[in-house]
Amino acid sequence: MASGIEEIIEEIEEYVDVCKPSAFSPSKIIVNRDELESLLEELRTKTPEEIKRYQKIISNKEAILADAQNKADAIIAQAQIQTNELVSEHQIMQQAYAKANEIIMLATKNAQDMLDKATEDANSIRMGAITYTDDLLNTIESVISNSMETTQARTETFMQTMQGYLDIVVSNRQELVPQEVAQPEPSVKQPQPVEPQETEEAASDDNVPALDIPESFFNKE
């Protein structure tokens, strides 16, 4: 929208355009003095008002610019505060991450130490159990070996005793067979007790079974 001064200036320009040129000089025109002075007077009248309006606009512009600057400064200040808060939060997060990593590393080390100690204890207990079991089996092996030797000695002694009794029985049976030629009645052999061959283990053991054979079995009337 054009201002009053601009409108008057446009009217003056239009007036000049419609004025007739001078007959003596084409660059000059013939104007109506009264009409031109009227336009100039109107221009003088409206100029202060336009200046005041422009001053008001300029003042308003400065106020708008000042308000905009204040708002911009407030936005920048708020952004700075938020930036500082973000930086602070970032630093706190970094510290928290570092602390968490430290705790994780310490917990991992403690867990590994506990695992190593448990493994070492388990191996120690295992070796102790193996050693104890081996000693126990060695003792059992010795007991079984000694028992086998003792049993074998007892068995040999028992077999020798039985063989002696068997020989006596066979001999007595042979004497019961009739002879073609009369011969003096042979006397019945008295069984001679067979002395068992005792080993140290057998001699010291009273558990060897003894045959209780009546003496009349060997004496016939």
Locate 141 and state its tokens: 């092996």
> pLDDT tens digits, residue range 169-221?
998 888 887 654 445 554 444 445 445 444 444 444 444 445 455 555 445 44
Domain count within the chain: 1
Average pLDDT of the chain, as a whole number: 75
Task: Determine, yes or no, domain membership for 92.
Answer: yes
- Does residue 122 form part of some domain? yes
Q: The tokens of 49 are what?
A: 């008002």
Least confident span in 30-34, 36-40, 88-92, 211-215: 211-215
CA torsion angle 29 35 40 42 (round to 10): -150
Residue 176 resides in a domain: no
pLDDT in tens, 2-16: 566 677 778 777 877
Tell me whether residue 178 is in a domain: no
Structural domain contains residue 47? yes
Among 215, 217, 216, which Cα is nearest to 173's?
A: 217
In a domain, 207, yes or no: no
Residue 197 CB contacts under 8 Å (≥ 6 apart), including other chains: 156, 157, 160
Q: Is residue 49, in this structure, part of any structural domain at all?
A: yes
Neighbours of 154 (CB within 10 A): 19
**Would you say residue 26 lies in a domain?**
yes
Domain residues for 108? 1-162
> Is-above-0.85 flag for pTM?
no
Integer Cα distance of 205 and 99 in angstroms = 80
C-alpha 167/C-alpha 172 separation (Å) is 9
CA 180 to chain centre: 107
Q: What is the pLDDT of residues 68-79, one digit of tens each?
A: 888 888 888 888
